[in-house]
């Protein structure tokens, strides 16, 4: 084990996979010479050279499209979009190509590719740079989606993503890059897709979260424990495949659930998770599932109001108290 930041854990995953497999190539805006705008690709150009680590023009749709073609041709591209917001310019290649190619061509080809992108709000970057678009990707069949909460998962999930034969949207949270944690040194350490992590056991309420929302949910659980409320916190790790079994089993045990998502509430992924819980746990639920989500507004810049638009420890804790109060 070594203590690493989320950023360095991702960096290590890239390096290990590039050492292991010469078909892994990395490209994106400012990833090579500048070493990434969030420095996740630091040292890659120096170690692997410009044939394998390449800067691209500011052409997001084509970045993803080139990755699709390269994957079809037998490489394992790991493309970086500078932030998730710019994935909106690449939605054609992501949704119409990356997600479709395999099934549309009757399973005759597959795309072992990863598109990495940092996202999330909370840094006063304004409406065009603060979005959480995980629900957009989750809505589209054909994509795998990973979104790590810890440095260890960052490493293990990215390595799995690179080895996975399917196209993977790999989300990274901008506010987690500096977070630290123990990370296994083993170059064969992998975190499997579709296995949610019960990060805290509890008996009163299940809190389902992912990425930074998991971090906040754990803090809320610590606060609530002081009030004698016991939360079970589940980190989904991957949004596709979605480990329904794990959170359903937890809710069957606790009888109550709060679902936390950073994206906008309306048509957000939390609605889908809540529905799955209602369907599977109707007989044992003691209260309707609560949702904590981003407010349905374009993100304002001003920090004093921006913070109100994103789930917080307080809003998660309040939802847990609410669900307990509403219990039959």
Partner 1 sequence: METKLRAVLPDHELVKLYEQMVIGREFEEACAEQYTKGHITGFLHLYSGQEAVAVGATAGLHKDDYILSAYREHAQAIVRGAEPKRVMAELFGKATGLCKGKGGSMHLFAPELSFMGGYAIVGGQLPVACGLAFSAKYRQEDRITACFFGDGAVNQGTFHESLNWARLWELPVLFVCENNFYGIGTEVHRSSALPTVHKRTCGYDIPSEKVDGMDVVAVFKAVKYAAEKVRESGRPYFIEATTYRFRGHSMADPAKYRSAAEHEIWKSRDPIPAFARRLLDEGIAAEEELEAIRKRCTATVQDAVTFAEESPWPEDRQIWEDIYV
Ligand X SMILES: Cc1ncc(C[n+]2csc(CCOP(=O)(O)OP(=O)(O)O)c2C)c(N)n1
Query: Where does this chain bind partner 1 (CB under 8 A)?
Result: 29-30, 33-34, 37, 55-59, 61, 85-86, 88-89, 123-129, 295, 297-298, 300-305, 308-309
110 is annotated as an active-site residue? no
Smallest distance from the beta carbon of 127 to partner 1, in angstroms? 7
The stretch among 65-73, 82-90, 160-168, 193-201 that binds ligand X (CB under 6 A) is 82-90
60 is annotated as an active-site residue? yes
Residue 86 binds ligand X (CB under 6 A): yes
Query: 96 touches which of partner 1, ligand X, none (CB within 5 to 8 A by kind)?
Result: none
Among 80, 97, 129, 262, the active-site one is: 129
Strand pairing report for 53-55 and 197-200: unpaired
Query: 222 touches which of partner 1, ligand X, none (CB within 5 to 8 A by kind)?
Result: none
Q: Which residue from 13, 31, 82, 161 is in contact with ligand X, where contact means CB under 6 A? A: 82
- Shorter beta-carbon distance to partner 1: residue 34 or 105: 34
> If you write DSSP's letter for every residue of 133-167 in order, what string do you get?
-HHHHHTSTT-EEE--SSHHHHHHHHHHHHH-SS-
Tell me the C-alpha distance between 270 and 311, whole Å: 13
Q: Which residue from 72, 89, 140, 313 is in contact with ligand X, where contact means CB under 6 A? A: 89
Query: 308 touches which of partner 1, ligand X, none (CB within 5 to 8 A by kind)?
Result: partner 1
Q: Which residue from 29, 134, 204, 262 is in contact with ligand X, where contact means CB under 6 A? A: 29
DSSP assignment, residue 202? -
Residue 126 binds ligand X (CB under 6 A): no
Among 16, 29, 35, 60, the active-site one is: 60
**Helix 6-20 vs helix 151-163: angle between axes, to the nearest 10 degrees?**
30
Smallest distance from the beta carbon of 64 to partner 1, in angstroms? 12
Tell me the C-alpha distance between 258 and 291, whole Å: 6
Residue 58 binds ligand X (CB under 6 A): yes
DSSP assignment, residue 293? E
Query: 175 touches which of partner 1, ligand X, none (CB within 5 to 8 A by kind)?
Result: none
Listed residue (227, 223, 250, 246) closest to 312, CA to CA: 223
Smallest distance from the beta carbon of 137 to ligand X, in angstroms? 17
- Shorter beta-carbon distance to partner 1: residue 177 or 247: 177
HSE-CB of 45 using CA atoms within 13 angstroms: 15
Residue 125 binds ligand X (CB under 6 A): no
Q: Are the CB atoms for 231 and 221 separated by under 8 Å?
A: yes
37-74: buried (b, 16+ CB within 10 Å) or exposed (e) per residue?
Answer: ebebbbebbeebeeebbbebeeebbebbbbbbebbbee
Smallest distance from the beta carbon of 295 to partner 1, in angstroms? 7
What H or E segment, with its residue span, contains residue 102? Answer: helix 101-104
Residue 36's alpha-carbon distances to 53, 127, 255, 288, in angstroms, are 11, 22, 45, 44
Residue 225 binds ligand X (CB under 6 A): no
Smallest distance from the beta carbon of 259 to ligand X, in angstroms? 31
Q: Are the CB atoms for 288 and 246 separated by under 8 Å?
A: no
User: Which residues are catalytic, by number?
Assistant: 60, 129
- Contact set with ligand X (CB under 6 A): 29, 58, 60, 82, 86, 89
């Amino acid at each position: 084990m070594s203590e690493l930041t989320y950023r360095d854990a991702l960096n290590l995953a890239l390096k290990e996979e590039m050492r292991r497999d010469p078909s892994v190539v990395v490209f994106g805006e400012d990833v090579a010479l500048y070493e990434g705008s969030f420095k996740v690709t630091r040292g890659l150009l120096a170690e692997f050279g410009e044939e394998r680590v390449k800067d691209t023009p500011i052409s997001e749709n084509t970045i993803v499209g080139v990755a699709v073609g390269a994957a079809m041709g037998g490489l394992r591209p790991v493309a970086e979009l500078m932030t998730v917001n710019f994935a909106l310019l690449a939605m054609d290649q992501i949704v119409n190509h990356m997600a479709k190619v395999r099934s549309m061509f009757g399973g005759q080809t597959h795309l072992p590719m990863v598109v990495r992108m940092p996202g999330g709000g909370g840094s006063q970057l304004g409406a065009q740079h603060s979005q959480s678009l995980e629900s957009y990707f989750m809505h589209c069949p054909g994509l795998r989606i990973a979104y790590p909460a810890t440095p260890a998962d960052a490493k293990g999930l990215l390595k799995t993503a690179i080895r996975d034969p399917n196209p993977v949207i790999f989300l990274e949270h901008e506010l987690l890059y500096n977070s630290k944690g123990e990370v296994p040194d083993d170059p064969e350490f992998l975190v499997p897709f579709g296995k949610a992590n019960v990060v805290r056991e509890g008996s009163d309420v299940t809190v389902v979260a992912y990425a930074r929302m998991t971090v906040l949910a754990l803090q809320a659980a610590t606060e609530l424990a002081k009030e004698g409320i016991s939360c079970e916190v589940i980190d989904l790790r991957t949004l596709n495949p979605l480990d329904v079994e794990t959170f359903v089993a937890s809710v069957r045990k606790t009888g109550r659930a709060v679902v936390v998502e950073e994206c906008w509430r309306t048509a957000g992924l939390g609605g889908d998770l809540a529905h799955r819980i209602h369907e599977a746990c109707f007989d044992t639920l003691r209260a309707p599932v609560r949702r904590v989500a981003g407010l349905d507004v374009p993100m304002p810049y001003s920090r004093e109001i921006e913070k109100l638009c994103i789930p917080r420890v307080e809003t998660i804790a309040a939802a847990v108290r609410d669900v307990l109060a509403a219990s039959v």
